[in-house]
Chain A
């Protein structure tokens, strides 16, 4: 009897804690949606809850769409290209490091890993900017693509190398005897067998690229080239602040990530626990 009571109490505490965390995670999102339907006056009068639907300012959303759609397109271009380039390089380098012995293999691997401990973008900002100026990449989305592709390598190689090493080498050898070249081995063996772990790496890279503020803020000058975080940042600072339009813009900017999450949720969760238990 007492055991049941203790476990019920434990359950209650657990659920309360989760609700507490979820509350603080979702309230800002809820308020964002609420405010996106309000004028500045409505917002000042009642910032927390919806007004009567007849008073909702749908035009905030159409205005925001006109504002942010270009930024979203830029962000999608940068994130998708960066992630795709990262993935292809990570796959090939992890495959080479995991499968083959060549002189200097360990040195290369440890050098790549060592960059994990170097100071990030902020610390290297001045030299990085200088380099990108010399490469004539300032005020170009390609600068962000290149930086995304470079930045995603380290963790990607680290995770994938270990994963590929765990795939029995006979699978590759068998494919080799069947006539599969290196790219075919990557395509037919590594990709299907490590789909979940690859998707996690991709999602992480995509999010990192999508949420990057510092570099686009520093490198992009034309308004038409801005990515979503910088675009929203600019909207936030321009003229008289229209909270409804701003929040609608924020909400629209969240949609691509929500779509990404919904479609990749299963793979993502599977990937996070991949390798935890050996099958």
Chain B
């Protein structure tokens, strides 16, 4: 069993001026046995630091890390039964692919036959059979990353750690390696912890995703849960590309219904009549500030909607139109907010054109502007 548990994990750094910086602020996370957990967040959110603490490459300031039933706070990295794949591959340039993969086993004094068998098996899985005699500099980026993965596989560890392993690859190779790592997880059935700043990697690879910001965990959930039911504005804005649109405004009662009125000084504000679900959520916010969030794909070109509900429509000026082929990204400007709509690509849109769009309020969210938490 290889669950990984982080309890109140803290990491502090001290600089030369003796000021303390908290990179990880007491996080709690349970990673299940054989789970593919992705830690995602922007630079400096503490995801790599957390991974390095699990690996034993960083000391823990406070808290506890367990792998399986064992607390590993003071266990040497080599004795944690883990393997790690680094962003820059970390292959030994003076060794062949075979020696790179066999290095750890040689140090553990495995018999020569066993080493050869394990390296050959890993090479077979990763398609590296013909490259075992080459040096890393003779390989492409993707091949090098495969060797790095191979080096992890041969040790048959309980837990695999990946620290942004695809960041150095070009876009095409990244997509290919993404699938290969997912297949590998299915094949090896091992616990994997994967750090990335790329939300597409997180969404496509993870069994669950842990979103981090400023050393805190913002939300842990399965990819679609995270996408459809974000718990705060950060997760809602971070997961999804293009990101969720946010409108700051107020909830105002009008004719027996609650209406969201955009905060837009001196201009005609956007007004959205809230449906029953949203009105129920916003009932305590009458006359107060609120944030209305909606994903770009939940805003449609009104011309393409068959049964149009005028109370859910708004008209705005197109700032930029980005035809992507299957769909078009429309960037609007209300003078107070910019927002993006992901619409069908049947129509051509020009700069400055007034376009009427329809909002799918069933998929919209309301957030408290102070706590930034979603209203439930």
Contacts of B87 in A (CB 8 A): 170
The residue from B55, B56, B82, B103 contacting A175, defined by CB atoms under 8 A apart: B103
**In the complex with contacts A184-B107, A188-B103, A177-B84 CB distance below 8 A:** yes
The residue from A171, A188, A192 contacting B90, defined by CB atoms under 8 A apart: A171
- Contact yes or no, B78 A177, CB < 8 A: yes
- Contact yes or no, A178 B78, CB < 8 A: yes
Q: How far apart are the CA atoms of A180 and B78 in the complex, in Å?
A: 8
- Contact yes or no, A189 B55, CB < 8 A: no
- Contact yes or no, A178 B104, CB < 8 A: yes
Q: How far apart are the CA atoms of A173 and B84 in the complex, in Å?
A: 9
- Contact yes or no, B77 A193, CB < 8 A: no
Q: Does B349 contact A (CB under 8 A)?
A: no
Q: Does B21 contact A (CB under 8 A)?
A: no
Q: Does A174 contact B (CB under 8 A)?
A: yes
Kindly state the interface size class of chain B when it binds its partner.
Answer: 20 to 34
B292 to chain A, nearest CB (A): 45
Q: Does B287 contact A (CB under 8 A)?
A: no
Please give me the residue from chain B that is nearest to A175 by CB atom: B103
- Contact yes or no, B107 A179, CB < 8 A: yes
Q: How far apart are the CA atoms of A184 and B82 in the complex, in Å?
A: 19
- Contact yes or no, B92 A171, CB < 8 A: yes
B293 to chain A, nearest CB (A): 39
Please give me the residue from chain A that is nearest to B78 by CB atom: A179
How many A-B pairs have beta carbons closer than 8 Å: the answer is 51
Q: Does B93 contact A (CB under 8 A)?
A: yes
Please give me the residue from chain A that is nearest to B84 by CB atom: A177
Contacts of A174 in B (CB 8 A): 84, 86, 90, 151
Please give me the residue from chain B that is nearest to A177 by CB atom: B77
The residue from B88, B94, B151 contacting A168, defined by CB atoms under 8 A apart: B88
Chain A at the B interface: mostly helix, strand, loop or mixed?
helix
Interface of chain A residues 93 through 113 with chain B (CB within 8 A): none
The residue from B86, B93, B103 contacting A173, defined by CB atoms under 8 A apart: B86
Chain A interface residue count, CB cutoff 8 Å, equals: 16
- Contact yes or no, B108 A177, CB < 8 A: no
Please give me the residue from chain B that is nearest to A172 by CB atom: B90
Interface of chain A residues 192 through 216 with chain B (CB within 8 A): 192-193
Contacts of A188 in B (CB 8 A): 92, 103
Q: How far apart are the CA atoms of A180 and B87 in the complex, in Å?
A: 20
Q: Does B186 contact A (CB under 8 A)?
A: no
- Contact yes or no, B90 A170, CB < 8 A: yes
A277 to chain B, nearest CB (A): 15
Q: Does A162 contact B (CB under 8 A)?
A: no
Max count, chain A CB within 10 A of own CB: residue among B55, B87, B93: B93
Q: How far apart are the CA atoms of A189 and B56 in the complex, in Å?
A: 20
- Contact yes or no, B93 A193, CB < 8 A: yes
Q: How far apart are the CA atoms of A157 and B151 in the complex, in Å?
A: 32
Q: Does B57 contact A (CB under 8 A)?
A: yes
The residue from A170, A173, A178 contacting B107, defined by CB atoms under 8 A apart: A178
Q: Does B279 contact A (CB under 8 A)?
A: no
Q: How far apart are the CA atoms of A87 and B90 in the complex, in Å?
A: 26
Q: Does B291 contact A (CB under 8 A)?
A: no
Q: Does A176 contact B (CB under 8 A)?
A: yes
Contacts of B82 in A (CB 8 A): 177
Contacts of A180 in B (CB 8 A): 78, 107
Contacts of A171 in B (CB 8 A): 90, 92
Q: Does B192 contact A (CB under 8 A)?
A: no
Contacts of B57 in A (CB 8 A): 173, 176-177
B316 to chain A, nearest CB (A): 48
- Contact yes or no, B104 A170, CB < 8 A: no
Max count, chain B CB within 10 A of own CB: residue among A170, A174, A180, A188: A174
Q: Does B236 contact A (CB under 8 A)?
A: no
Q: Does B83 contact A (CB under 8 A)?
A: yes
Contacts of B83 in A (CB 8 A): 177
- Contact yes or no, A179 B108, CB < 8 A: yes
Max count, chain B CB within 10 A of own CB: residue among A170, A189, A193: A170
Q: How far apart are the CA atoms of A15 and B107 in the complex, in Å?
A: 54
A181 to chain B, nearest CB (A): 9
Q: How far apart are the CA atoms of A179 and B94 in the complex, in Å?
A: 19
Contacts of B86 in A (CB 8 A): 170, 173-174
- Contact yes or no, B77 A192, CB < 8 A: no
Contacts of A168 in B (CB 8 A): 88, 90
Contacts of A184 in B (CB 8 A): 107
Contacts of B92 in A (CB 8 A): 171, 175, 188-189
Contacts of A193 in B (CB 8 A): 93-94
Q: How far apart are the CA atoms of A175 and B155 in the complex, in Å?
A: 13
A176 to chain B, nearest CB (A): 5
The residue from B55, B90, B93, B104 contacting A179, defined by CB atoms under 8 A apart: B104
Q: How far apart are the CA atoms of A179 and B83 in the complex, in Å?
A: 11
Q: How far apart are the CA atoms of A77 and B368 in the complex, in Å?
A: 80
Q: What are 21 sample pairs from A and B whose C-beta atoms fall under 8 A apart?
A: A170-B87, A171-B90, A173-B57, A173-B84, A174-B86, A174-B90, A177-B55, A177-B56, A177-B78, A177-B104, A178-B103, A178-B104, A178-B107, A178-B151, A179-B107, A180-B107, A188-B92, A189-B92, A192-B94, A193-B93, A193-B94
Beyond contacts A170-B86, A174-B86: 20 other A-B pairs, Cβ-Cβ < 8 A, are A168-B88, A170-B87, A171-B90, A171-B92, A173-B57, A173-B86, A173-B90, A174-B90, A174-B151, A175-B92, A177-B56, A177-B84, A177-B104, A178-B104, A178-B107, A179-B78, A179-B107, A188-B92, A188-B103, A192-B94
Chain A to chain B: the 4 pairs with minimum beta-carbon distance, closest first: A178-B104, A170-B90, A179-B78, A174-B90
